[in-house]
Chain A
Amino acid sequence: MNFTGDPLSDISAPIEELSTSLRSPGHVIDFGNGVYLTPYIFWLIIVLLLVCIGVTMCVKKVTLVPKNKFAGLVEYGYDAVRRNMGQEGVGHGYEKHLPFLASLFFFVLFANIVGLVPSFRTPTGTLSVTWALALVSFIYFNVYGFKVKGAWGYIKSIAPKGLPAPLVPIIWVFEFVSLILRLLTLAVRLYGNMFAGHMILGIFAIMTQAFLIDAFVGAAPLLALPAVIWFLFLVLMYALECLVAFLQAYVFTILSAVYIGLAQSEH
């Protein structure tokens, strides 16, 4: 990278590079024959192992009062899923959905948090992963809707009850479109938040670097002042991203829970 001494002309190339590397990353492991692992899938596998090993290690010996500190932590998380998402999101008959919701929550949470470590990639920062997660949730709540209400009952229940007869087909079409859009919004909400967050962190880091190096290259000490301000913004955004990583995992799981509850309930 060449630094010319003018920060505004130095930032466009790194930002372009960042955008390409986030949207179409290279290969981490190449198996040949066009089969390869992108960084996202590489970290996806690591997160999967982390969640499996971490959770099974913590609850290997389940005791009434958790002795292991990490067991207490995992049980606290599971209890939060049970109370906030199970009881209030799904409602009646939530117990059998808890394993699904808890694994979804822990997986998305770990995947989001892994991306906060510098030079790691968040698996949820690519649309293919969030698309797959949303598809799992979408199929799950539709299958439970079919199971509880029967095929015709579920199709009828897409439009709310108590409508005047001529309105029913129109409202049904609208509600059906909104049902399909749940798949899209679940996937894109998670992807958009993680992708945009990392893009902003990257841009702020590039700004800090460009201003700081150009202060040395151009021998202009005043340029170091914006670098300090950009760095403060970077720290603030990083704190915000820590919140967003948790919040998006929470929102993804509670929306899945609410959709399961809506598919089951008689309304």
Chain B
Amino acid sequence: METVFVISALKVVGYGLGAIGPGVGLGLCGHGLCVGSARQPEMAGKLFTNALIFGAMSEALALIGFVLTFIF
């Protein structure tokens, strides 16, 4: 019982560690979008689409971590 509890707690800790990188990545992505569209508002639409692509890419790691907490 104790071991099961420790393992299920460690899964959540692992997910938290895995979410650090994507968090930084998404923040940088949003920063770039805000700065870019403030400097050149007419490019905002195109920048937003690109920001979504790169946001989706960096988010992938966090989502894999989310799946792994359910699998193991």
Contacts and interface: CB of A to CB of B under 8 A. Distances in A.
Interface of A: 88-89, 178, 181-182, 184-185, 188-189, 192, 251, 254-255, 258, 262
Nearest to A90: B49
B7 interface: no
> Which among B46, B49, B67 has the highest number of chain A CB atoms within 10 Å?
B49
Q: Is the interface of B mostly helix, strand, loop or mixed?
A: helix
B53 A258 contact: yes
Interface residues of B, number: 14
Interface of B: 45-46, 48-49, 52-53, 56-57, 59-60, 63-64, 66-67
Given A178-B57, A181-B60, A255-B56, A188 B49 contact: no
A70 B49 CA distance: 29
Contacts of B53: 255, 258, 262
B49 A89 contact: yes
Contacts of A258: 49, 52-53
Contacts, number: 37
Nearest to B45: A88
Contact of A188 (B46, B57, B67): B67
Contacts of B64: 181, 184, 188
Contacts of A251: 52
Given A178-B57, A185-B56, A192 B63 contact: yes
